[in-house]
Structure 1
């Protein structure tokens, strides 16, 4: 008993039951409203249709009366007159011809029961069956207490128009006494002495006018122009009360309402007859139909309650299972709010899981793409993943690979991953439609790779044009604060192995691009190779000496000049980077022998590498080198304050006193050390011994004087520290390979120094 009570009191079960019951009640109410409205609507529609039916019946009545009038008129105009003698005798020949015409005329209308022609001066009547005495005919076939032979003969003696008499029952004199309801019509005798009496069959007449098409429960009255009733389809209809209550007007068509009925009154244009259609406010037998419908609804309600209870029990089991699945502990007290919140939580978890799966798939595609770019030989599992994910972004027959290198202007650090993802979305949206498929892969460090699928290799050129247009547009609008460079590979067949080839194309684009080019899109197929690199070792060494002695600006001036010469020669980026690195390492060697800690030198070198790697043009590489030069000058100057054995101080002293008689003893005394220690220290620090270094400084100054002045060789040798001209000449020839005089001849004034190195 207790478990049953618990089940009854269970919230979930009751909620299911009342929810189903509510649905059943709503369905019942809605069906009832539809039923009520539909009955009313159907009735209105049927009522309107009934009016149209009645109007059509009136036209048929008018046509029928016209037809009868025409038949009567035709008979009266026949040239055969059986009573032409005027003495009561009949001409049988004319009678026969009249009989023949009567049969022909009467047979044209099915509702004509009989046509009788008689004359005032004779009892003989001609019918469609032959000749017969009028009293005998009426006594045998058309017996009616009101309309006998005397009535018709009396009426025939007076002049009258066509008259239609009410439909009444007429019997014959047979033993059975067959009764027929007929409508008598007697023709006008105002223009003819012949009297024509036509009997219309009531039932056939109603069938002829299609009375069955009238709405059930309606009635029709036909009245002549004198308001005498001719035809009435309802026997119990009290005509007197109806006419008294309705107060009919003179309009051709009226609608009047009285009690439970609506009366539609129509007046004929042909003969002035009045037709009254009586219509109830509701369908006939509606109460019985409504009663049956109410019974059906009550049964439906009972069935709905029973079905709700059964369905509640049936649905309660899966609900309990659902409650357990979503983790509600108290399953007996759980209601649908708890279930709904549990389902919502599961949906959130599913959405989160779906998002994680999408992220995982994107990362897998990215990893597959990167492996393809780098040409990494993958293990079997990775190879299977590549076969699965590679076709997702390589659906076309060919592809073009593009690389975007982006960084914010005036910023040393690359953009964050969020910033790069936003740029990737912008690139994907801007390039959508350039090829059959577009896939963008941000890889960090301001780089985005774009895989563009094309149908044919010849479609590459339009892709490059669209890339240029896109980059030009975003640089002016969305990317105005960014520095961007784009490289485009050749077109390759869509195979994993070709991704690495395309990647090599992109690498070559950035390395071999012309350093003075301002084109934001580097096309691999338009690169023009050159090897005219300007790297004068003597100028590089001179710049290094200027830096050592602390003359940073002179060093920077030489660097700018070397960069300008290379820009004029349109060399490649990687070549200019190599020249810059050569100059940097020639200057860093002076810090290696100083008291500067190695970690500072390593940091300086690493910073230079990062800046040159991110550099997009000659100005960026030059500025990175100049910043490193200034940093070296500051670092060397600070280290020189700690000890007299400082490379900067030594180089500065030699640069300013090279023309004097400098020797090891003098330098050792100046630096407060022994000649031997100074010699070892100098060679370790500068890479060459003191005498060679001194000769290079003196000869560098001498070469400038040879090119820029008219002084003699002896004068130049004396000014640069040599005691006699022979020593100067032999030393110059040893290092330069030619004599000072020949050097002056071969080097025009103001010409730059030779690109070759100094022969040791």
Structure 2
């Protein structure tokens, strides 16, 4: 549970909420849903509630929703020892995990105090990276006691390392407790025995009470049982020893020694058929065990890389945990023609590539684990301390082999740095994935090194955005063409990688297509351009694509001069002129003297989007202009473009742009300032 709560505090939503200067209720609602799911899934742990508190906002998110933290502990989780200032003191301590004494938390309904019918144990967890955020998990003591208590009765006391009682359902004097702690394992007091044991992980001391009479009765039964078992064991042992000594003699000794040493069994011809069968079976088991250990290690490391919780104790015997390792990533991208050929069995190529990589490492004499993480990714962990340059030279040989199939697929190899601990696998995997995204333009296999390089965004200026906006508004395909080629040259000057080119191209295509649709152009002929972009690997590929794409747009625009749709043009014109009004499909249909159902189907078929999508697109584009060119408040801008609710405006703006209105305005101003500084 400590790990689960810690993972929740590292959740991107929780961290984003922590970093916001102003409390974001939308993110808080997402965190609330995560908490509700966790509490539901952890019913077997008897988790009653989980509260995440943000000290700087004085807000709390729990299974009941989002609340003011002070109000929560004053009306919903009431206990004299645990008011809000007390929690802040607990959280302000230097340790990041603590189990606190159980308590009954009351609640208020109006002025009426409702007494709690159950006792809860609080567990406080903090993340050292975010000191003003902490989580409190509450567990039902009675349910835990009834499930986990295996003694003859339910009398139990739990005490922490400072001598403070965490939970107790019986009374015990201070003097008696002090004597008990001095005793090794138990203490006899009258007709009772007190047994205590300290938890290895938690550091808590558990005290059980057992009546002397019951213990005496049990000891008599155990003594009788042990005596009977000893007699029976001696009888069986003598019989079996006699039979085995006559039947097997030295062959049994050979098998046992082979098993103890874990070395491959060396079979000798003993002339006994049973021994031969056993020996062959033991040899097969040893071989299967080695194979299964390798698979188990690959599975465990793959889960660790993807942050999947698992039990890694089985790896201890393989001596792989906390052994230094280099990490390598092989990311495969199939070319379109080859991808179509393997569509029926797409898992086979990655399997062959993985086995080839593993064979190469075996040939080089490296101790390694090579496993598939994703459908297009193979990861190798090399357990050695060789110099990184040695691996780079060996990978150059692999590169030449992979390049023989460059017409079928491209491979990006990332050579990560050396890591010391198994716990770093997740970070190492995320790091090499980031490096893989920095692949350069070009065909063939590329080898990238983890040299502390970071992803660099290409700084697009406000002026560049405005130029494209003007061309789009006027439908000037020639202007769009010149702007596009100029931006390709701009990317080249900034040494853009393949991801930069692809992101720019997809963004441009989507933006131009939306604008053309908004102007009433039917773009069925341009469907599938995303597949064409996926086959662009060099700058000339992108230039040829843009040439073909813009030529098609030019033809469609010229054809439009001869095709005029009065219904579509009336809808476009009316929305452009009246977007700030309360427009609906029904009112538009009434204006055109058509049924709303017919207009909905007609508009969708002709424009490629429904009526409400187009209306929201026009409103958001107008809002973007006002955010860039005016100093009006965000709420006023929302009202000017037709949104009566600030929440509706914020939600729709973020859906279309990926940013809040405030973030968009700030980004545009920063780009404009940067452009002026450069000029």
What TM-score comes out, normalization by structure 1 length? 0.32
Please tell me whether Structure 1 or Structure 2 has the larger radius of gyration of its CA atoms: 1
Q: Does 1 or 2 have the higher relative contact order (CA < 8 Å, sep 6+)? A: 1
